[in-house]
């Protein structure tokens, strides 16, 4: 089998506190009790706090995830540097992200007030990734009176209001009856497109890759682009390719809940191995519906709402370039239909069996990248520390195999795992946030092998009671 490599990976964050109220949970709570809108507003944090927040910095590469283990929580109370850009991506302010959404809006769904558009356009020009020709939608905004008229009661349109109360725009519904084209869904999809595009542009710019050299894109997100006749038809992959200059590319979407990115990477490897394409870009945009998902726990704990960022990722998979980390396509771990649904069974399928096939021991893997949800987000709402649980299960399997003593399980988990640091953006959180760190670490000789293990909740769609899972290994060339 020909070698498949991952040559680069980049992440992206947008700090969007003004969109928190449009997350699925906040929307439902505000509908039931309008006072919840004020509660949310009073618990939002400013940009500098989001930029300095250690898990966000880990996501963007300015701190290593493992270093979080030695820093006492709560992390959200700490002060320090608040860089916009890290080695693996940036955290974009909300106003600029609205500008990106509008720049990529090809159906005039998003109207920005003319004064606001005039402020944002030069910021994006100065950003460096957005030439003037790609910002035509921002050359002229809409008069404030017209924008305000679009949000009259019963319109179904959604106002964009920055924290502090400044009204800057509106997202319009595209159909009066088709709920897949209502304003909320369209806003989620525009934001997803923008986040995926930013991650893709970052990867292309950082690596000097000619956009025309990418022939295929696989989108791995959880959005449902479509209309009433094909509710999740897609194709976000091609939409992202269009706005990032991938003029020679086509593409398709991969749907597998949180497992989507892992499936997409394996599918990309298969396409390259078969000689269909030389390289495939795997992208994933944000899940706006999950903003503020656990806000009630944060409010109860007198914390700021930490689910206030939208995430994106881009990963380049290609044929062997002689230097990049290799994907072990010969030992992909799959959660078979007949494998059983317990967490122990899933990890047996995704870790134990692939390692045995490769002739490796549990300790031969430097790091296991699992569901990297930030525990500071999940614990206040009672969801526990998800990565910690996974590492304990992996350590238990290593002990059961006789490779370590039970007394060594905690040390094994600490050495081969890491604290969670990812936003709770579904597919984004599942394993791949560590990809830029893994590629960089392997290239620098700091680690040899990383196993990426994702799990998915297929039962959420009410079509099966099963879970899902898929894993793959990347390793150095020694």
DSSP 348-399: IIIIIHHHHHHT--GGG-SEEE-B-B-HHHHGGGT---HHHHHHHHHHHHHH
Residue range 339-367: mean pLDDT, rounded: 95
State residue 425's pLDDT score.
Answer: 86
State residue 21's pLDDT score.
Answer: 98
Class of domain 326-475: alpha beta
Q: Is the pLDDT of residue 1 over 80?
A: no
Show me where the domains of the chain are located: 326-475
Query: Tell me: the pLDDT tens digits for 384-418?
Result: 999 999 999 999 999 999 999 999 999 999 999 99
State residue 478's pLDDT score.
Answer: 73
Query: Tell me: the pLDDT tens digits for 233-253?
Result: 999 999 999 999 999 999 999
Query: For 316, phi and psi rounded to 5 degrees?
Result: -100, 120
At 190, is the pLDDT very low, low, confident or very high (cuts 50, 70, 90)?
A: very high
CA distance 167 to 392: 48
State residue 340's pLDDT score.
Answer: 86
State residue 344's pLDDT score.
Answer: 87
Cβ atoms 459, 376 nearer than 8 A: no
Provide the b/e sequence for 106-135 (b: ≥16 CB within 10 Å): eeebbbbbeebbebbbeebeebebbeeebb
CA distance 272 to 277: 5
- Would you state the structure tokens that stand for residue 330, as one six-digit string? 């010969």
Helices (H), 256-385: 260-273, 295-300, 343-347, 353-358, 375-378
Residue range 364-383: mean pLDDT, rounded: 96
Residue range 194-212: mean pLDDT, rounded: 98
Residue range 338-366: mean pLDDT, rounded: 94
State residue 368's pLDDT score.
Answer: 98
Q: Is the pLDDT of residue 59 over 90?
A: yes
Residue range 214-225: mean pLDDT, rounded: 95
Window from 194-198, 222-226, 280-284 with minimum mean pLDDT: 222-226
In this prediction, what percent of the chain has a pLDDT beyond 70? Answer: 100
Query: For 382, phi and psi rounded to 5 degrees?
Result: 90, 10
Reduced to 3 DSSP states, what percent helix, strand and coil does the chain have, rounded to the nearest 5?
45, 20, 35
State residue 58's pLDDT score.
Answer: 98
Query: Tell me: the pLDDT tens digits for 269-308?
Result: 999 999 999 999 999 999 999 999 999 999 999 999 999 9
């Amino acid at each position: 089998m020909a070698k498949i490599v991952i040559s680069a990976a980049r992440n992206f964050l947008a700090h969007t506190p003004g969109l928190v109220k449009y997350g699925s949970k906040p929307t439902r709570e505000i509908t039931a009790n309008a006072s919840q809108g004020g509660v949310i507003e009073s618990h939002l944090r400013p940009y500098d706090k989001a930029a300095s927040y250690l898990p966000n910095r880990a996501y963007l590469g300015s701190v290593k995830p493992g270093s979080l283990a030695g820093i006492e929580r709560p992390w959200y109370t700490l002060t320090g540097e608040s860089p916009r850009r890290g080695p693996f991506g940036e955290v974009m302010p909300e106003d600029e992200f609205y500008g990106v959404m509008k720049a990529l809006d090809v159906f005039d769904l998003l109207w920005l007030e003319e004064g606001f558009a005039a402020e944002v356009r030069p910021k994006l020009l100065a950003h460096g990734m957005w030439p003037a020709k790609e910002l035509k939608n921002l050359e002229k905004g809409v008069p404030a009176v017209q924008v305000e008229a679009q949000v009259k009661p019963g319109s179904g349109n959604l106002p964009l209001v920055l924290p502090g109360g400044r009204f800057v725009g509106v997202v319009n519904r595209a159909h009066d009856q088709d709920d897949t084209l209502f304003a909320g869904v369209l806003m989620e999809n525009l934001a997803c497109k923008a986040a995926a595009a930013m991650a893709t542009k970052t990867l292309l710019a950082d690596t000097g890759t000619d956009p025309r050299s990418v022939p295929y894109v696989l989108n791995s997100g959880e959005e449902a682009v479509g209309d009433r006749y094909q509710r999740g038809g897609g194709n976000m992959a091609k939409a992202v390719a269009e706005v990032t200059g991938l003029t020679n590319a086509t593409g398709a979407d991969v749907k597998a809940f949180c497992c989507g990115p892992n499936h997409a990477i394996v599918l990309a490897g298969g396409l390259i191995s078969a000689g269909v394409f030389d390289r495939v870009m795997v992208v994933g945009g944000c899940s706006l519906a999950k903003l503020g998902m656990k806000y009630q726990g944060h409010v109860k704990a007198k914390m700021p709402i930490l689910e206030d960022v939208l995430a994106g990722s881009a990963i380049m998979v290609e044929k062997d370039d002689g230097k990049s980390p290799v994907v072990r396509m010969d030992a992909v771990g799959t959660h078979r239909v007949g494998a059983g649904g317990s967490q122990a069974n899933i990890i047996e399928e995704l870790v134990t069996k692939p390692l045995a096939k490769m002739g490796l021991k549990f300790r031969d893997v430097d790091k296991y990248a699992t569901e990297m949800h930030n525990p500071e987000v999940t614990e206040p709402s009672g969801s526990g520390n998800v990565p910690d649980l996974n590492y304990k299960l992996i350590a238990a399997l290593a002990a059961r195999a006789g490779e370590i003593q039970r007394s060594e399980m905690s040390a094994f988990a600490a050495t081969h795992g890491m604290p969670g640091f990812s936003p709770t953006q579904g597919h984004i959180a599942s394993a791949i946030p560590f990809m830029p760190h893994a590629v960089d670490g392997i290239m620098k000789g700091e680690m040899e092998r990383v196993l990426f293990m994702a799990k998915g909740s297929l039962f959420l769609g009410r079509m099966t009671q099963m879970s899902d899972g898929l894993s793959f290994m990347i390793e150095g060339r020694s």
